[in-house]
Amino acid sequence: MNGKSILVTGGTGSFGKQFCATILKHYKPKRLIIYSRDEFKQSEMAKEEVFQRTCMRFFLGDVRDAQRLQRAMNDVDIVVHAAALKQVPAAEYNPHEFIKTNIDGAVNVVEAALNTGVEKVVALSTDKAVNPINLYGATKLCSDKVFIAANSYSGSKNTRFSVVRYGNVIGSRGSVIPLFLEQKKKGALSITDSRMTRFFISLDEGVDFVIQCLESMVGGELFVPKISSCYILDIAKAIAPDSKIHEIGIRPGEKVHEVLIPRDESYITLEFGNHYLIQPIIKNWENGKHSSKGKPCSPDFAYSSNENQDWLSCEQLKPICRKVAKELAFEVDF
């Protein structure tokens, strides 16, 4: 990262801000460019002391705008694509908007990176993209395919594209922990299904993993970190052990359990120390770079939140939820 020009789409979001803060702490980039469409969020971010550096740039623009995106990528070495519309219910009601941002935006990022000669592009994905049953997941699956296939088009320009896929980020906007903290004030929490499990990763872990992938990628990989699972019911009990819990039923487009790697892709999946790597079906990459080091997964392997080997108990969740509560200025009494 030292001496490199780095652009982060959706840079004012939870991930983007943490990623930039981490880069500034550990590296010396030539330029660190925030590319996003919200001028207020950019102005607020620019006021924070950690971002008051001469290398920082704040570039207003939307990933839907191909021309503006290409302008922003001039002389950029590394792109982290974190911009997306993410709310599952909103996607069901506004499919056109999600397609424009999550799919058309992905195509625009690829085209701009190829046209300007960016060295490396990493796109963030989600467990919702695996065997999707909602529109948000479907758009992210399309986005993943766009980025992996882009390696076929780079030719002599040596632009390389990879994807990082992980689960829910603990305490991020729209996540269940802030919701339960708010509901606790009224003495009653609502969960959709008591059987429900989810993958969880902290913001710091997500950022560190993306940086690791940027350093090791050769192009065409889909990286999946090894992370913990938990029952949503255990989160509710950790936050509000004395509150009533109402089961309201699964919402449209929601799964009881999430999957990060389906059995259908086990035959192209390699296991490493702290992550898995799904190889591209199109053999246009340097296969030997990874296959000689990774361990092939068994044909019946699947990485799902309910079959995970790493679980967070109710007691382990309490300090995590306390940390989130303090960061969000909620009263901590559990």
CB contact burial 208-233 (16+ within 10 A = b; e otherwise): bbbbebbebbebbbbbbbbbbbbbbb
What dihedral angle (degrees, nearest 10) is formed by the CA atoms of 201, 127, 213, 171? -30
Give dist(CA 230, CA 241) in Å, integer: 16
Among candidate residues 202, 197, 213, 216, the one with its CA nearest the CA of residue 304 = 197
Sequence-ordered list of residues with C-beta below 8 angstroms from that of 90, at least 6 positions apart, any chain: 98
Taken as a whole, the chain contains a residue count of 334
What dihedral angle (degrees, nearest 10) is formed by the CA atoms of 87, 91, 97, 103? 90
Q: Which of 17, 86, 120, 128 is catalytic?
A: 128
Sequence-ordered list of residues with C-beta below 8 angstroms from that of 254, at least 6 positions apart, any chain: 88, 134, 192
Q: Are 12 and 18 in contact (CB under 8 A)?
A: no
Active site residue 4: no
Find the distance separating the first CA and the last CA of the chain, reported in whole Å.
41
Give dist(CA 224, CA 277) in Å, integer: 6
CB neighbourhood size of 191 (10 A): 21
Catalytic positions, please? Answer: 128
